[in-house]
Amino acid sequence: MKETSLDKIVSLCKRRGFIFQSSEIYGGFGAVYDYGPLGTALKDAISQRWMKSMTQLHENIVGLDSGILMHPKIWEASGHVGAFNDPLVDCKHCKARYRADELVEENPEDAVWKNIQCPSCGNAGELTDPRQFNLMFKTHVGPVEDDAAAAYLRPETAQGIYVNYLLVQGAMRLKIPFGIAQIGKAFRNEIVARNFIFRTREFEQMEMQYFVKPGNDEDSLNSWKEERLNFYSDMLGIDSSKLRYHGHGEGELAHYAKEAWDIEYEFPFGWSEIEGIHNRTDFDLKQHQEYSGKNMQIFDQEANEKYFPYIIETSAGLNRMLLAVLSDAYWEDSENNRVVLKLHPSLAPVKAVVCPLVKKDGLPDIARKIVDELKPHFKVLYDQQGSIGKRYYRQDEMGTPFGITVDHQTAEDNTVTVRERDTQKQDRIGLDGLTEALQAKISTYS
């Protein structure tokens, strides 16, 4: 099995412009990351595939982009003001801070959790009683900082879908079952943020809420479970042996859930959740009807009745998905002493690099012309710096699947060499059919 330490991925991400620590010149800012040129391109490619899998491949699923700031009552209705808490404990000795539930999970043999050794200083019996800590970020809207103007940064995108669902349904003339998909930022004041972009205080969610007739919820959950797992291997090219389901037991269920499953990926730091599939029942819609005083029931024309639909939610973290893609693609090719990101060509931020073998004899001009020809179709780079081997190795780390070299033969017969990243095999291809040949290789998954 491939063993990759997270540190190596973090360092590659910085070196090649995928991900940087936020506010680095000020010493960094807790658990926030900035995405560089390659990181934004890769993140966009992943989110586009997700949106396509939802709204293009399903005729009855549509998109939405709701606000990050919403009416504060939404978060009372949803239960987040009252119940979106994590139990916080401190070590009295070294002041380290933990989530009590995570400490217990890591030390299942300790029945009396307070005896658990502090993982930081090693002292036992020094942990405080847990205090409930609300994970929502609170802010103030307008100039006056009183409670009337309090608002929250959304901790999940789902509520924006629920409060709009009847408007969307009416506008798009949707019949049950139907879904609404949304990609957007969410914020949680996590007690312990760790593992790079796995758990951060600002992150992006890709959530799809599927509205079904009560009674059809269990079948729907099962079919979404299957479809969502396949997405990772079929549309992101992730190794399926590193994916699995984890079912939530009674004690693990969120306040709104009847049934919940996590899709887990085997990260360098172990199996961890990347997406949750939840049966949220009619909890949220009933709550919103009660708190807003507005009708939240749907009229089902076919059945000629009004009811609260049940909601099956698929809730994925874009940043975690990106980390899974990076972890899966990271490859140390020790035989050739190089690091390669084996990204699927359809996800790779740069599809090809064009290199003149030498900086003279008219080769740079030919290479520039090839760049001009390819760039309307996909992202390409021109590189004439350093030896050809060094140029390729740089691109291998960026995940660029194809290297095109213009050499003296090109001037004679209009052919170039095309090198494949993973195998390093080189073929000679005629310039006439170059765009089409590359496009065919790139679009396998589209």
**413: its two tokens:** 């017969």
Written as one string, the DSSP assignment of 17-28 is: TSEEETTGGGT-
Q: Pick the closer one to ligand ATP by CB: 20 or 393.
A: 20
Q: Pick the closer one to ligand ATP by CB: 237 or 317.
A: 317
- Closest-by-Cβ residue to ligand ATP is 317
Q: How far is the CB of 19 from ligand ATP (least distance, A)?
A: 13
Distance of alpha carbon 362 from alpha carbon 412, whole angstroms? 12
Task: Confirm or reject binding of residue 275 to ligand ATP (CB under 6 A).
Answer: yes
Q: What is the CA radius of gyration of the chain?
A: 25
Task: Confirm or reject binding of residue 205 to ligand ATP (CB under 6 A).
Answer: yes
Task: Confirm or reject binding of residue 273 to ligand ATP (CB under 6 A).
Answer: yes
Task: Confirm or reject binding of residue 80 to ligand ATP (CB under 6 A).
Answer: no
CB 45 within 8 A of CB 307: no
Applying CB under 6 A, among 12, 208, 316, 418 the residue interacting with ligand ATP is 316
Return the beta strands (E) in 157-219 as ranges.
Answer: 178-187, 202-212
Q: What angle do the packed helices 158-172 and 283-292 form, to 10 degrees?
A: 80
Task: Confirm or reject binding of residue 319 to ligand ATP (CB under 6 A).
Answer: yes
Distance of alpha carbon 397 from alpha carbon 323, whole angstroms? 15
Written as one string, the DSSP assignment of 305-322 is: EEEPPEEEEEEEEHHHHH
Task: Confirm or reject binding of residue 361 to ligand ATP (CB under 6 A).
Answer: no
Per-residue binding string, ligand ATP, 224-253, x by CB under 6 A, is ------------------------------
**E strand or H helix at 406:** strand 402-406
Only segment of 126-134, 198-206, 297-305, 332-340 that touches ligand ATP (CB under 6 A): 198-206
Only segment of 38-46, 122-130, 162-170, 315-323 that touches ligand ATP (CB under 6 A): 315-323
Only segment of 8-16, 281-289, 314-322, 436-444 that touches ligand ATP (CB under 6 A): 314-322
Q: Pick the closer one to ligand ATP by CB: 38 or 316.
A: 316
Give me the helices (H) in 315-377, please: 318-329, 363-374
Task: Confirm or reject binding of residue 346 to ligand ATP (CB under 6 A).
Answer: no
Q: Pick the closer one to ligand ATP by CB: 191 or 437.
A: 191
In the three-class reduction of DSSP (H, G, I as helix; E, B as strand; rest coil), residue 165 is classed as helix
Task: Confirm or reject binding of residue 183 to ligand ATP (CB under 6 A).
Answer: no
Task: Confirm or reject binding of residue 199 to ligand ATP (CB under 6 A).
Answer: yes
Task: Confirm or reject binding of residue 280 to ligand ATP (CB under 6 A).
Answer: no
* Residue 177 per-residue DSSP state: S
Q: How far is the CB of 283 from ligand ATP (least distance, A)?
A: 15
Distance of alpha carbon 440 from alpha carbon 402, whole angstroms? 12
Q: Pick the closer one to ligand ATP by CB: 152 or 392.
A: 152
Q: How many angstroms from the chain centroid is the CA of residue 193?
A: 16
In the three-class reduction of DSSP (H, G, I as helix; E, B as strand; rest coil), residue 181 is classed as strand
**E strand or H helix at 74:** helix 73-77
Task: Confirm or reject binding of residue 315 to ligand ATP (CB under 6 A).
Answer: yes
Task: Confirm or reject binding of residue 317 to ligand ATP (CB under 6 A).
Answer: yes
Only segment of 8-16, 106-114, 269-277, 296-304 that touches ligand ATP (CB under 6 A): 269-277
Task: Confirm or reject binding of residue 190 to ligand ATP (CB under 6 A).
Answer: yes
In this structure, is the dihedral angle defined by the CA atoms of residues 89, 94, 95 and 97, taken in order, positive or negative?
A: negative
Applying CB under 6 A, among 80, 188, 228, 394 the residue interacting with ligand ATP is 188
Give me the helices (H) in 194-269, please: 217-234
Query: Which parts of this chain interact with ligand ATP (CB under 6 A)?
Result: 188, 190, 199-200, 203, 205, 273-276, 315-317, 319-320
